[in-house]
Chain A
Amino acid sequence: MKYNSMDEANKAVIDKITGSAPFLVDVVPAKEKVKELNEGKVLLHAGPPIKWEDMTGPMQGSCIGASLYEGWASSPEEAEKQLAAGEVKFIPCHHVNAVGPMGGITSANMPVFVVENRTDGNEAYCIMNEGIGKVLRFGANSQEVIDRLKWMQNVLGPTISKALKLTEDGLNLNVMIAKAITMGDEFHQRNIAASLIFLKEISPFIVQVDMDETDRKDVIQFLADTDQFFLNIAMATGKAVMDAARQIEAGTVVTAMCRNGKDFGIRISGMGDEWFTAPVNTPQGLFFTGYSQEDANPDIGDSAITETFGVGGMAMIAAPGVTRFVGAGGFDDALATSNEMAEICVSQNSNFTIPTWDFQGACLGIDARKVVETGIEPVINTGIAHKKAGMGQVGAGTVRAPKECFEKALEAYAIKLGLIE
């Protein structure tokens, strides 16, 4: 290790995070950025590696939907047969510079955001938010879902791509996040302010795009309706920033947290791209009428990259508006949650100051050592999927990252450094 102490290494990691300059520069079909998607039937999924037979309902449902969307199968039954027969290759999003919400299923022709981290020149990708209700990321795969994905491929993606090109420089995401965090967003459960800022920034360019007027109206309407639109941008932002931080290759800062419905996986800065996994927990929270905890799918999705980046559940206090929705009792509970999270972080991010936290910065750099030392597990704000494929979202709540992942990571790192056998 080229650093004199773990604290020094961790400092280098968080300097990378605060020094990052993520810009939203484009929207392109996933296959243009992820070459693996051009090599036959390939799907990206959320979380650490997982086999078809181990996937929970929502992820399997998404895979079926993606097969139908890509035209590999003409019926859900046929798709399922192909998937069960092993005809489709699976790769974690995280292995190809991508992240995906919930099931995270990403196929060749789906449009993805391209976030460029200008400090290090690396990029990260994430599919676009489909809105709520019957959506692919929760395992829905009806015709309505496929039709929307096609529209996103043919209309929404290209329109935003053209608009972004008109901006010349792309959109400065640090600035947008800094503004939205003062407006009550935490970027996991609540993105309405950031989504509006995005709409504000992009609409002057959308109106300049040479396109069909009905399509233009549909695009604007979709952006106006989709409160969580910015979530996927925030995820790609987190990925781009944390991947750059991973280059330090030392220290105990968590550089990724993700879940595949079966396992929770983390990476730490000193252990490169190795995953440390433990069985996921099941989120607790509030349910839509007619559903209960019984229906909840175990924790799933790459969206915990937002918490890794220091927002989401880590910044609960920034979003008092949703604290009750995600299971916290109220303002005091949100404050207690963020105070607790600050205990396990290296520092606080002066780029993102939170007015409701007396202008303290968002959490910066989860230190796996502090997680293990205190037993305080990072909290994640999350949507809750129905455990059966296709039923979609049934609630929202919080879930904790299992301590065991952090213990395994530290143990491996201590062994790697020759400190222990």
Chain B
Amino acid sequence: MLHTIIKKNSYQDSINLMLLTNSVSTMEGLNKVQIMMATPANKDIFKTAGLHTPELEAAESNDMAIVVDTDDASLIDKVLEKVDQYLQDQSISNKKQSFETVRTWDKAVDALPGANVAMISVPGQYAADEADKALDRGLHVFLFSDNVSIEDELRLKQKAHDKGLLVMGPDCGTGILDGVPFAFANVVNKGRIGIVGASGTGIQEVSTIIDRLGEGVSHAIGTGGRDLKDPIGAITMMDGIRALENHSQTEIITIISKPPAEHVRNEVMELLQSLTKPVVAVFLGEKPEQYVGNVYQAYTLAETAYIAVDLAKGNEVKPDYNAGDFTVENADLKEGQRTLKGLYSGGTLASEAAILISDALGLGTHIKNEEGYVLKHEGHEVVDLGDDKYTQGKPHPMIDPETRSKFIEEAGADSSTAVILLDFVLGYGSHDDMASALLPSIKKAVATAKEDGRTLHVVATVCGTKNDPQSYDGHVKALKEAGIIVKETNNEAVRTALSIVGLQVEDNQKKHVEGEKSGKEFDLSVSDEIASLVSDRPRVINVGLKGFTDALADTGTQFVQYDWRPIAGGNARMAKILSLLK
């Protein structure tokens, strides 16, 4: 029996409501519960979940809808009580905030006149408009939102470029500007290595390894995953590279991307070779055979970090950093136990795992993605659980353990599974203690295998630093105590998993050859706005998810929180009228 509670004009952002849904779901006696804002799109999600009711249909975009499927009607009051308590606790815990909260762009700019970056995390359908407004106000844009069309991305990036501004994103999960973590990012020591990256966990993996090796990062500029594809043509990447070239504290430039479109790759490479600073580049899926001129191309994320650190320290760059001894003592396997299951929360880490496994299997190194599976071959599987496929109506696996727990238990029950590979991504935005959240499922999976007479091996990597809000050492310790093999980098973790099933990757010994200057003249200058972005502390208008302000507050960054809501409550005709009445 379906019960509907509508809380009129009670706006909460979707992540909050998902967490609330999870919290309410734990109540005994409920078959199913869903709490969302009653927008047209969400009504469809209710419909799909079999939770659509006439009361819900009548509700409006600014109403919070709670639909409960239960046979016990007396639980409804308790649900409401729990919802109110949750929202109340949240409002109390938010009470002591010392920053200004605004509801319009005008007030945001009034409240922080020196703002130079807008961090935007509004639902995708509204993101391009808000980014446009930020650019109109002369702000660089950090666009966390996804589901922005490629046409909008191109238009925004061209507009930004013409105005001397940067659009970092869309779908930009991470960034570090002058030591300030943006969105899902780690607390990384400041230093002389600058990063421009088109991948979220790619930046996180490289920057945290750099930190753990004792070096630091000047800036890590995210570009969004499509920046090096057609038709964007690396607009943000190239402006980001110029920014770091002009930033005197940056001595080494590191770029991270999936393989770019051919002509984009050539153009970026020509730009890199025209720089005065040494460059480390990784195009995940390309297996480089040599270092060319000032550009050191790496095969893995870890290798990228190691090369950058050696360059920063003035050490000679080695021909290879990937190979090593990854043998595991006493790795028992039962007959038929031969497959690897990579269950990743980080998309780029998943891709890297897929590349290495694929390489070891002799299948080449290019990445595909079928329904979130970046590798699916003869029982070997690597899945990116942060893929859209798994995050519709659910929080990202870096925040919420639920989906991954399910996959871990399934992998444990599969008699072919030899190794489960996991990533634990720390930093702002991520779960407070993912190790503790996942350990019950891991232990269950190991126990299930044991009952079946199998030893299930679990290999993990922790992506984080000692200064992250979660404890890096605590994570490593907790995982090791549970019998999990914990490796320093994702590269090492994957190779360890491979060695358990008797596979290994052959690595290239990269020679250093002279670069060929293309003869093309590159303009390496940057706008005043970009120069000031990299030379000063960012001053931020956070548009959307309030949780992102934690990192800003902790680092003493000036910011204002813009509690964004859909324009005109999501009413499309009114939004159009507003756009016309200018």
Instruction: State A360–B571 Cα separation when bound (angstroms).
Output: 33
Chain A residue numbers with a CB within 8 Å of B106 are 343, 370
Flag if B104 contacts A419 (CB, 8 Å).
no
List of A residues within 8 angstroms of B569 by Cβ: 375, 403
Please determine whether B582 and A343 come into contact, CB atoms closer than 8 angstroms.
Answer: no
User: Nearest chain-A residue to B579 (Cβ)?
Assistant: A419
* 8 A Cβ contacts from A392-421 to B: 403, 407, 410-411, 413-414, 417, 419-420
> With A342-B107, A373-B104, A376-B103 known to touch, is A419 a contact of B581 (CB < 8 Å)?
yes
Most chain A beta-carbon contacts within 10 A, residue among B106, B107, B581: B581
Instruction: State whether A414 touches B577 (Cβ < 8 A).
Output: yes
**Nearest CB on A from B368, distance (A):** 43
The smallest C-beta distance from A316 to any residue of chain B, in angstroms, reads 16
Which A residue's beta carbon lies closest to that of B577? A414
Cα distance A376–B11 when bound, in Å? 12
Given contacts A340-B103, A342-B107, A343-B107, contact A375 B577 (CB under 8 A): no
- CB of A279 to closest CB in B, whole Å: 15
Instruction: Please pick, from A340, A374, A403, A413, the residue contacting B581 in the complex, using a CB distance under 8 A.
Output: A413
Q: Among the listed B102, B103, B567, B577, which residue makes an inter-chain contact with A420, where contact means beta carbons less than 8 Å apart?
A: B577
Query: Which B residues are in CB contact (< 8 Å) with A369?
Result: 578, 581
- Considering the chains assembled together, what is the distance between the CA atoms of A343 and B9 in angstroms? 18
Q: Establish whether residues A375 and B568, one from each chain, have CB atoms under 8 Å apart when the complex forms.
A: yes
Q: Is A5's CB within 8 Å of the partner chain B?
A: yes
Across the interface, which residues of B come within 8 angstroms of A411, CB to CB? 573-574, 577
Tell me if A6 counts as interface (CB < 8 A to partner B): yes
A252 at interface (Cβ–Cβ under 8 A)? Answer: yes
Contact of A372 among B9, B62, B578, B582 (CB under 8 A): B578
The answer to whether the Cβ of B565 comes within 8 Å of any Cβ in the partner chain is yes
Q: Report the Cα distance A191→B580, complex, angstroms.
A: 41
Does residue B576 face the partner (Cβ distance < 8 Å to A)? yes
Residues of A within 8 A of B568 (CB): 372-373, 375, 407
Considering only CB atoms, which chain A residue lies closest to B576 in the complex? A420
In the complex the two chains form, is B567's CB within 8 Å of A419's CB?
no
Q: Is the CB of B578 within 8 A of A343?
A: no
Q: A373-B568, A375-B568 are in contact. Are A420 and B580 (CB under 8 A)?
A: yes
**B-side contacts of A413, CB under 8 Å:** 581
Residues of B within 8 A of A252 (CB): 581
Residues of B within 8 A of A407 (CB): 568, 571, 574
Given A342-B107, A370-B104, A375-B62: A414 and B567 interface contact (C-beta under 8 Å):
no
Query: Of all chain A residues, which has the CB nearest B581?
Result: A6
Q: Which residues of B contact A403 (CB under 8 A)?
A: 569
Closest partner residue, chain B, to A375 (CB atom): B569
Contact with A along B551-582 (1 / 0, CB 8 A): 00000000000000101110101101110111
Which B residues are CB-close (under 8 A) to A7?
582
Q: Whose C-beta in chain B lies nearest to the C-beta of A414?
A: B577
Interface of B is mostly: helix
In the complex, what distance in Å separates the CA atom of A384 from the CA atom of B571? 32
> Is the beta-carbon distance between A414 and B581 smaller than 8 angstroms?
yes
Q: Which of B85-124 contact A (CB under 8 A)?
A: 102-104, 106-107
A24-69, CB < 8 A from B: none
Contacts of A339 in B (CB 8 A): 102
For window 1-40 of B, CB contacts with A under 8 Å fall at 9
The contact of A343 among B62, B104, B576, by CB within 8 Å, is B104
The answer on a CB contact under 8 Å between B103 and A374 is: yes
Inter-chain contact A343/B577, CB cutoff 8 Å: no
Q: Which residues of the other chain, B, contact A417 by a CB distance below 8 angstroms?
A: 581
| Minimum CB–CB distance for B113 against chain A, Å | 15
Q: Are B567 and A410 in contact (CB under 8 A)?
A: no
Chain A residues contacting B107 (CB-CB under 8 Å) are 342-343
**Smallest distance from the beta carbon of B98 to chain A beta carbons, Å?**
13
Q: Which of B238-265 contact A (CB under 8 A)?
A: none
Question: 8 Å CB contacts to B: which residues of A343-377?
Answer: 343-344, 369-370, 372-376
Of the residues A340, A342, A373, A376, contact of B578 by C-beta under 8 Å: A373
Q: Find out whether the CB atom of B104 lies under 8 angstroms from the CB atom of A6.
A: no
Docked-complex contact A343 and B581, CB < 8 angstroms: no
SS class, residues of chain A in contact with chain B: helix
Query: Which residue on B lies nearest to A332, using beta carbons?
Result: B95
Closest to B568 in A: A372
Q: CB within 8 A of A410: which of B62, B102, B103, B574?
A: B574
Q: Complex Cα distance A159/B404, Å?
A: 82
User: Which residues of the other chain, A, contact B576 by a CB distance below 8 angstroms?
Assistant: 420
A241-254 contact mask (Cβ, 8 Å, vs B): 1 or 0: 00000000000100
Interface residues of A in 300-341 (CB under 8 A from B): 339-340
Do A419 and B580 touch (CB < 8 A)?
yes
| A340, A343, A370: most-surrounded residue (chain B CB, <10 A) | A343
A410 touching B565 in the complex, CB below 8 Å, given contacts A374-B103, A374-B104, A375-B62: no
A295 to B574 Cα, complex, angstroms: 36
Partner of A414, one of B103, B104, B565, B580: B580
Q: In the complex, which residues of chain B have a beta carbon less than 8 angstroms from the beta carbon of A410? A: 574, 577-578, 581
**Are the CB atoms of B582 and A6 closer together than 8 Å?**
yes
Closest chain B CB from A22 CB (angstroms): 28
Distance A289 CA – B580 CA, assembled complex (angstroms): 51
> Residue on A with the closest CB to B100?
A339
Hey, which chain B residues are within 8 Å of A420, CB to CB? 576-577, 580
Bound Cα distance A249, B442 (Å): 70
Within the assembled complex, what's the spacing in Å between the Cα atoms of A339 and B107?
9
CB distance from A332 to the nearest CB of B (A): 8
Which residues of chain A from 221 to 263 have a CB within 8 Å of any chain B CB?
Answer: 252
**Within the complex, what minimum Cβ distance (angstroms) separates A7 from chain B?**
8
Q: In the bound complex, do residue A374 and residue B577 qualify as a contact, i.e. CB atoms below 8 Å apart?
A: no
Q: How far apart are the CA atoms of A413 and B581 in the complex, in Å?
A: 9
Report B561 CB to chain A, min CB distance, Å: 12
User: In the complex, what residues of A have CB within 8 A of residue B581's CB?
Assistant: 6, 252, 369, 410, 413-414, 417, 419
Q: How far is the CA of A373 from the CA of B107 in the complex (A)?
A: 13
Q: How far is the CA of A167 from the CA of B10 in the complex (A)?
A: 53
Q: Inside 8 A of B102's CB, which chain A residues have their CB? A: 339, 343
List B contacts of A340 (CB < 8 A). 103
From B108, which residue of chain A is reached at the shortest CB distance?
Answer: A343
How far is B569's CA from A376's CA once the two chains are assembled, in angstroms? 10
B97 CB → nearest A CB, Å: 11
- Asked if A375 and B565 sit within 8 Å, CB to CB, the answer is yes
Closest to B580 in A: A419
Tell me which residues across on chain B come within 8 A of A375, comparing CB atoms.
9, 62, 565, 568-569
CA distance A252 to B580 in the complex (A): 12
Give A417 Cβ to nearest chain B Cβ, in Å.
8
CB proximity of A75 to chain B, nearest CB, Å: 45
Give the distance to chain B from A287, nearest Cβ to Cβ, in Å: 22
Q: Establish whether residues B574 and A372, one from each chain, have CB atoms under 8 Å apart when the complex forms.
A: yes
User: Across the interface, which residues of A come within 8 angstroms of B573, CB to CB?
Assistant: 411
Complex CA gap A418/B538 in Å reads: 43
Interface string of B490-513 (1 = CB under 8 A from A): 000000000000000000000000
Chain B contacts for A5, CB-based, 8 A: 582
**Alpha-carbon separation in the docked complex, A411 to B571 (Å):** 12
| Min C-beta distance of B265 to chain A, whole Å | 43
Measured in the bound complex, the distance between the Cα atoms of B576 and A5 in whole Å is 17
Please give the residue numbers on chain A whose beta carbons come within 8 Å of chain B beta carbons, in ascending order.
5-7, 252, 339-340, 342-344, 369-370, 372-376, 403, 407, 410-411, 413-414, 417, 419-420
23 contacts between A and B (CB under 8 A): A340-B103, A343-B103, A343-B104, A343-B106, A343-B107, A344-B104, A370-B104, A372-B568, A373-B104, A375-B9, A375-B62, A375-B568, A375-B569, A376-B103, A407-B574, A410-B574, A410-B577, A410-B581, A414-B577, A414-B581, A417-B581, A419-B577, A420-B576
Interface residues of B (CB under 8 A from A): 9, 62, 102-104, 106-107, 565, 567-569, 571, 573-574, 576-578, 580-582
A340-B103, A374-B104, A411-B573 known; 13 other A-B pairs, CB under 8 Å? A5-B582, A342-B107, A343-B103, A344-B104, A370-B104, A373-B567, A375-B565, A376-B103, A407-B568, A407-B574, A414-B581, A420-B577, A420-B580
Q: Which 4 A-B pairs have the closest CB atoms?
A: A419-B580, A343-B103, A414-B577, A343-B104
